Amino acid sequence: MYTHYWAISLLVPILAYLYAPAILDVVSGPPLSLVSNFYVSLLGRPQEATLGAFQGVLGVDNDFDYIVVGGGTAGNPVGTRLAEAGFRVAIVEAGPYYDVTKDGVHNIPAADVLNLAAHEKAKIPQMDWSFMTEPQEAIGQRKIHISRGKCLGGTSTLNGMVYQRPSTQAYDQWAEAVGDDSYRQESFEPFYKKSVNFTLPIHSKRLANASAPDDASDFASNNEGGPVQVGFSNWVSPWATWVEKGLASAGLAKTLGSDRGQLMGHHYTRTTIRASDSTRSTSVEYILAAMKKGITTLKVFTNTQATKIVLDEEKRVVGVKVWSKGAEYTLRAAKEVIVSAGAFHSPQLLMLSGMGPPATLKQHGIAVEAALPGVGQNMWDHVMFAPSWLINTPAAGAAFSRPYKLRKYIKQFKATRDGPLATNNVELISWEKLPAKYRTRFSQQTAEKLARQFAADWPETEYMAAALHVGNFAFPVLQQPLNGKSYGSILCGLNAPLSRGNVTLKSASAFDMPVINPNYLTDEADQQVAVATYHRVRDIWKTPELQSITIGGEYWPGDHVQTDEEMLDAIKKSLMTIWHPACTCKMGSSKDPMAVVDSQARVFGVQGLRVVDASAFPILPPGHPQATVYALAEKIAHEIIKASRGGL
């Protein structure tokens, strides 16, 4: 498992001296921390900056109409849209702002692989909250690292950049769960359009033997020039061409409607990467756009952590207590506070402020302001695993096992804005409900559960073509084989999970991480789907098209893994989150005792408080939630502004 671990760990100080001498001055801690910092140094440390006139000053800027807690994927859209409407708005972000005009680990797309690891030390330390789960009973007591962004832009600065919308019937399930038809596709979709600007890739930056995906049919009349840039990567690994052929041969046809509610099939991945310069596009785009518009009513407080929501005697929210540079301040809100701190910090902040399960609050000596048993409960997440093969076509992952090669690609990226660093490492994506031959492994109970809880167009499995060896996901960057050869993995994601987790308090302090227990694979149905998916992906690998580029048998976990029991054991030892935690402050009707917010994201039991981020999802739609987080933020901002204008 750790064949290459110590070899590279022992070499890192030498490599650091040869390639990035400055690293020796700042690194401390175990070898894995050294390795993480080493790669960050190679790619470029993010440079902290201020926001000029938008930079909030604590003790000076105190009074606002709206305070948004969390400058992330949801918080920045909500805050800037309200400021554009003329309201005085504060965005409170616990982390710094990193200059997006400077190249570095924060905006080079391929750097997303640095955080894609289960080990707690595998991270970009300047940008990651570094959440760790509790030991997971169903997967051998493993603790899993869940990366969440701690900087302006939030997790949009760390995620895999996949941009994709839900299936049509998933919208319907959302609408029915909350009793509000405005969440059906035809009504919700305009808010997806409002957030993005689609641009075709620059074909000249592609290798001659790589496919040139440029289908814009999903966006032809579906693009309103929003702040976030979406498109296809300028650079695509040649191996993705063969994966596409293999998927088609296995019955997964190309889909042209993946952003119109039709997920089943395969397509090249659309990402939040700018076509113009191949850099990551994040929710910071909203703030930069507001600057260009000359907005004067927005203040952004960076390096400032919210510690408590302040209520008056009538249980109306009147402000937020924040902490920065060793001092506490109170920001006052004349209208509302909007919590957009993510699936872990949003429920934590509510509980610290007296809103949550009464027993939990009392356990930590917190007065109950609103008894909401659903706060922190109902956690959904998507998980994945990935068999890997040695392949005979170029793949980007080999660069990370050879620092000298990585330096070459860094120079290429900076000079021409192309090459392996210009991709998110997941260049082709596909979804399906497992075919009938694989469903024979389901018990009757599993088949009934899946049919009952997930619509006909809701895929159970997702396949993502990754141009690197993944292995057990402990630290893929460090675990790339040292032979310099190319490896490919098809990541297998479970998109219809039935296991549910929870988030709770460790203490009454905002500075203690919440306790996170996703309960991965605790529902036996998830285990059966995972094993069936393993059989399916092996058959995909065995298509003539993919066999034409493979060398030998399955590299990891290996052909010796044959029985269902052996497959499940391999899955448990390598299971990794796709970083999609959601639903921990779930949306619902007032009749649902576990609902935390209504369909307008207003928290039950208090006045003047909303939760707008993935924690407010009533369900986690199939695929990747980034697009839906942006859309929800746009929708709620629109509803607030409309209500302020008398419904017009």
- Binding-site residue ranges for FAD: 155, 159-162, 579-580, 625-626
Torsion of CA 168, 171, 172, 174, to 10 degrees: 160
Contact 460, 537 (CB under 8 A): no
The single residue listed with the structure tokens 């429920």 is 347
Torsion of CA 293, 294, 295, 296, to 10 degrees: 180
Spatial CA neighbour of 86 closest among 644, 646, 647: 644
Contacts of 276 (CB under 8 A, 6+ apart): 199, 229
Kindly name the residue from 345, 382, 469, 580 that is annotated as catalytic: 580
Structure tokens at 591: 């009749």
Helix ranges (H only) for 315-435 are 342-352, 358-363, 403-416
Angstrom CA distances, 390 to 239, 291, 486, stand at 11, 48, 6
For 284, the 3-state DSSP assignment is: helix
Structure tokens at 59: 């003790």
Structure tokens at 291: 């600057």
- The Cα 464–Cα 386 span in angstroms is 9
Contact 324, 303 (CB under 8 A): yes
Handedness of CA 285, 290, 291, 296 (dihedral sign): negative
Spatial CA neighbour of 262 closest among 400, 346, 167: 167
Number of neighbours of residue 196 by Cβ within 10 angstroms:
27
**Quick one: how far is CA 365 from the chain centroid?**
33
Phi and psi angles of residue 517, each rounded to the nearest 5 degrees, phi first: -130, 90
Let me know if 624 is a catalytic residue.
Answer: yes
Terminal Cα distance for the chain, rounded: 61
Residue 590 burial by Cβ neighbours in a 10 Å radius (0-12, 13-18, 19+): exposed
Contacts of 11 (CB under 8 A, 6+ apart): none
Residues β-bridged to residue 228: 196
**Residue 2: left if φ>0, alpha if ψ -120 to 50, beta else—which one?**
alpha
Phi and psi angles of residue 327, each rounded to the nearest 5 degrees, phi first: -135, 150
- The Cα 152–Cα 56 span in angstroms is 13
The amino acid sitting at 300 is V
Relative to beta strand 426-432, strand 388-391 is unpaired
User: What's 639's DSSP letter?
Assistant: H
List the binding residues: 155, 159-162, 579-580, 625-626
Helix, strand counts (H, E) of the chain: 16, 26
Helix ranges (H only) for 436-558 are 436-439, 444-453, 524-541, 544-547
Contact 645, 353 (CB under 8 A): no
- The Cα 314–Cα 330 span in angstroms is 19
Please give the positions annotated as active site: 580, 624
